[in-house]
Structure 1
């Protein structure tokens, strides 16, 4: 009840502020229209009116932030994924977080950049991308790794710790990350068979993917792995002479460094930003488990349309274990995916059997969709 009253109060104040802004704007417009025409330059807006408008706009922004960040509103969505909820033009969101931006931009030009990769991640996840800092030199590990000790195989038995700046991570080694969660992919050799096995209809082994492409007389040469973690899918495709770049973020772990150490290409970009790829250039896009029901619907629609933009005609979109509530899959996500007009090569659903899946009535969807050759 208290939360409802607070929300209603904020909405009322927001409405009053917006009405006041419109009245002041109309008043200034009417006085401008009533004044006789003159070849002279138009009269400047009075300082007092400008001050009032700035005050009202600042109030609106403040009330909006209060409404969006009300601490009494609980959510089960992971906080990092909530940061993907805003769509905005490139880098415009930097101005919405002045404290973070000021801290990030406080540095000495032409010297070493501050060791603040965690701060950079916070800004990127909030839509401040590309980052504005330009005039400093990136830090390198204190003990450089010898070139001859870099892994040559995409599934090495271990990753070298001294190739990472660990300052802002709780763990200070890949072995520590493996102890915390062996499923994160920081011991690549364990993932060597990950995309080669078939246990349920939700799985799509790589050899089957190639059989499908061959039967359709399609070619797989270039791919994009969206939210690919440490790059295991790209590594498996590399063994088959397919170049796959991986989008990843370094939230609490050095994912980008792990991808690069495997001889692969990481793209350090968030999901809500336009992909830094040209139109119609990739043969395959795989969406891993980073793409799921936690992404707000407008962002999901934006994402799917951007994936359509970078896929060539006849290319494949692979939704790998996408999960959502069963009712939402039927009424929301399936129609949204259907808007693409892609051919359904594979469409398999199965129950999500972990605690969250059972509680929320969630399903997994694995779908392989082929973009029309021409439109």
Structure 2
């Protein structure tokens, strides 16, 4: 309480001083209109004004509720949030969601963390990423299984290794009944990426043959929005190491990917990939990369994908969908601007109810990053 009152008093004094200096500046300006010679504001007053403004900005960044209206309910600042802010940077979007941020950081240090994975994901999706670190122990399953499958397409996964309390479904069977295409049914997943049905398909054996014919080795790859990491699972059987970006969004995608012996990256699409420049042989963009992403955000994403790809690496848009007119006017020029060599470029109408209603089309494109000129 004393800390908050002292902070409010400091802010009040700072704002009063700012107003006095602003009035001085205004009066000097008005007088200068009557005089042929303008009277500049003294340098020391300008420096004081800048210092006061910088102090207010700094304090409101660290303590966003202190600058709130007096009529609004004040939030107590979690002590670990103040401590963490003193030595580590926090993304600006964290400060624009103070209630969620304070709730996330309001925990008891050195004890068990709250069961708030949904809160963490809500912050991540709002751009608060990476999240502030916490000094607590993440919750673990009560009775985890010690037997983990070596085969990523094993017929069953140890569900006891998943904490289900935050999900509406309490088991993989429930998720499979809800929608077998979600990626939680190994018997359904085992056929994916292996067959050729339409021109939009690019089976993995064909992808590997294309790379081999071009004397381009595939060893490391990134799958954007890969769900339960089925593509990474299949590539693992060909000795290609893939990491998969995935969000949970109501189901344990990250947990299941890890249970399959694969690496999930819990990162949103709007943030810079935590991967160094020019180290990936392959980047695949699945259904997560589609027309719902704003065009400018998509442009930044594409150039970040270019950043992590090595020269000669492949960028694969797998069933990218958009309105037909937008594909011609927006997305094709956006992709072409990268200057990649087109290895495969196939389009077809999207024939489900939403696709027919909105005049949507699919694009499958395999592009190779060229040697810089």
Structure 1 and Structure 2 fold alike (TM over 0.5):
yes
Residues 45, 224 of structure 1: CA spacing in aligned structure 2 closer, same or farther, 3 A cutoff? closer
Name 2:180's counterpart in structure 1: 182
Gaps of 5+ in 1: 1-20, 63-88
Worse-matched range after superposition: 189-198 or 292-301: 189-198
- Check whether the contact 1:159–1:186 (CA below 8 A) recurs between aligned residues: no
Are residues 1:286 and 2:292 paired? no
Residue 308 of structure 2 is matched in structure 1 by 310
* Cα distance in 2 between the residues matched to 1:265 and 1:311: 18
Give the alignment of 1:154-193 within 5 angstroms.
154-193=152-191
1:100: how far off? 1.0
SS in structure 2 opposite 1:183?
helix
Question: Match for residue 71 of structure 1?
Answer: none
Shift in alpha-carbon separation, 1:37–1:247, aligned structure 2, 3 A: closer
SS in 2 for 1:179: helix
* Structure number with larger C-alpha Rg: 2
Aligned residues: 316
User: In the TM superposition, what are the counterparts of 1:221-370 in structure 2 within 5 Å?
Assistant: 221-370=219-368
Q: Per-residue CA shift, 1:260-291, capped at 9, x if unaligned?
A: 01111000000001001000001000000010
Q: Secondary structure at the match of 2:181?
A: coil
SS of the equivalent of 2:200 reads: coil
CA deviations over 1:163-193 (Å, ceiling 9, x no partner):
1111110011111111111101111232112
Matched-pair contact (CA < 8 Å) for 1:195–1:205: yes
**TM-score, normalised with respect to structure 2:** 0.79
User: Is 1:108 aligned with 2:108?
Assistant: yes
Give the whole-Å Cα distance in 1 for the aligned partners of 2:303 and 2:51: 45
Cα distance, 1:42–1:340 mapped onto 2, change above 3 Å: closer
- Distance between the aligned counterparts of 1:260 and 1:29, measured in 2? 66
Over the aligned positions, Cα root-mean-square deviation in angstroms equals 2.9
Match of 1:194 in 2: 192
CA 1:236/1:359 → structure 2, altered by over 3 Å: closer, same or farther?
A: same
Relative to structure 1, the CA distance from residue 293 to residue 45 in structure 2 (aligned partners, 3 Å threshold; closer, same or farther) is closer
46 and 92 in structure 1: CA distance in 2 versus 1, 3 angstrom threshold: closer
Provide closer, same or farther for how the CA distance between residues 137 and 358 of structure 1 changes in structure 2, counting only shifts above 3 A. same
Instruction: Provide closer, same or farther for how the CA distance between residues 45 and 297 of structure 1 changes in structure 2, counting only shifts above 3 A.
Output: closer
2:144 paired with 1:138 = no
With over 3 angstroms needed to count, the CA separation of the structure-2 counterparts of 1:140 and 1:26, relative to structure 1, is: farther
Higher relative contact order (CA 8 A, sep 6+): 1
Deviations 1:34-56 (A, max 9, x none): 24466x994457989x99xx99x
Mapped contact 1:90–1:273 kept (Cα < 8 A): no
Could you say which residue in structure 2 is the equivalent of 1:7?
Answer: none
Measure the CA separation in 1 of the matches of 2:122 and 2:370: 38
| Secondary structure of residue in 2 paired with 1:289 | coil
